Structure 1
Amino acid sequence: METPRAALQRLIDERREDYAALSRLLGRNEAYIQQYIKRGSPKHLREEDRRLLASYFGVKESLLGGPQDWEKPTLQQVPVLDVYASAGYGAADFGEARRTTIGFDPRWLRELAKGSADGLSIIRVKGDSMVPTLADGDDVIVDRKDGAGRIRDGIYVLRLDDSLMVKRLARQPAGKGISIKSDNPEYPSWQDVQLSRIDIVGRVLWFGRTLS
């Protein structure tokens, strides 16, 4: 790896610059740059000298010994849909237009989804039938690729009788039915519901909540 001294010498050679002229540019004695490169004195360029030299040569300060430039991470955008999954008795009317997107670290999303994160979307919970697990106004990340084909115990967004709901699903010990449960005991649950009646939108993987 090229050292700051070697990098500065290379720049001087490529641009046919002069030690003394560069030293005067910094307001130093004419031997300053030569001593820095050839004798190692000073051990490090001062911040203001490094910044001026980097600007003069049109390079990053990190090349001349400055801190590594912070690189903005590439975020994977997850769509936020105009959908309310009712944590109550269900809401018949809903739309699925993309409202905005929120960026997340791609590796975190892959770990969350245990694979591809391409099927993720964010929707809002409406109602209190899933309290204390989910509250009215919570935003949930739903994996729309994780549906009926992989169903297992967990919280899902589903359509049932033309209503969009977020509920806890569990396979029945016997038979092919599914139980649909509300975490809030004041709301009803349904036992032995046939899978053919349910359109599973996706599995809820994560939620976010605004603190009041």
Structure 2
Amino acid sequence: MPEDPRANLEELIRKNGHDFAAISKMLGKNPAYIQQYIRRGSPRRLAEEDRRRLAEFYGVEESLLGAPAGRQARPRGPVTPDGLLRIKQLQVGASAGPGSLADDEYAESMGFGPKWLRRLGIDPANLSLIAVDGDSMDPTLGDGDDIMVDHSAATRPLRDGIYVLRMDDVLLVKRVAMGPSGKLSIRSDNPQYPDWEDVDAGVVNIIGRVVWTGRRL
């Protein structure tokens, strides 16, 4: 790679199939942040925390992104001896049916390849796994499916998708859309279950967006 930290970062982003806006959002910045840094030179250098997170995310030395030489970064989170990155698993599932009480304790973890995780364009530190409980999201999500949740989505503007959310101390996985009035539509994919329209966003606690699912055949 060349010596220019901006060129190095752009090559990493392109090589991994990401885009500037997605990486900016991963850092909690406005969507133009990385593009302005690379193309306009503003800011002149990355903040230390942003540089560290990017180096960990791409598994490269921080020096490639402008840090003092020799500072090596590794993917965030426990790594198994075979090089897999451990993603924590929530002990109690998110209900896709009538609802179950939330439990925020993590009992286990599952290993994923760091390169595979990087293709998601999400910092692995912001990911967790939750088991679906119930059939209200059939056929998209079934009872017992593992879902990977991006918790950083809770800090960004809502866009249509499947989310884990908490309402009245109940953890749910539902399809969520923002209406023109600013209120939410919360829907089940299984037509046998009711939908909730025009829900006040203030009573909904978004936990994260579902970005991947795995299931037993």
TM-score normalised to structure 1 length = 0.61
Q: Between the two proteins, what is the percent identity of the paired residues?
A: 48
Tell me the CA shift for residue 95 of structure 1: 1.7
Letter in 2 for 1:117: P
Moved over 2 A (4+): none
Summarize the alignment of residues 35-184 of structure 1 with structure 2, pairs less than 5 Å apart: 74-91=83-100, 93-112=101-120, 114-147=121-154, 149-172=156-179, 174-184=180-190
Structure 1 residues 152 and 187: CA distance shift in structure 2, 3 A: same
Structure 2: state its 5+ residue gaps: 1-80
Specify the alignment match of 1:205 in structure 2: 211
SS in 1 for 2:93: strand
1:84-103 Cα deviation digits (max 9, x unpaired): 10001211x23222221111
Structure 1: runs of 5 or more not aligned: 1-71
1:6-17 correspondence runs (5 A): none
The aligned amino acid for 1:77 is: R
Deviations 1:116-175 (A, max 9, x none): 121101110011100000011111111111115231100000001221100000111x21
The equivalent position to 1:187 in structure 2, one of 163, 182, 193, is 193
Cα distance in 2, alignment partners of residues 73 and 103 from structure 1: 9
Letter of the 1:116 counterpart? D
Distance 2:166 2:137 in 1: 16
| Count of residue pairs the alignment pairs up | 137
RMSD: 1.4
What TM-score, normalized by structure 2, do the two folds share?
A: 0.60
In our comparison, the structure showing a higher alpha carbon Rg is: 1
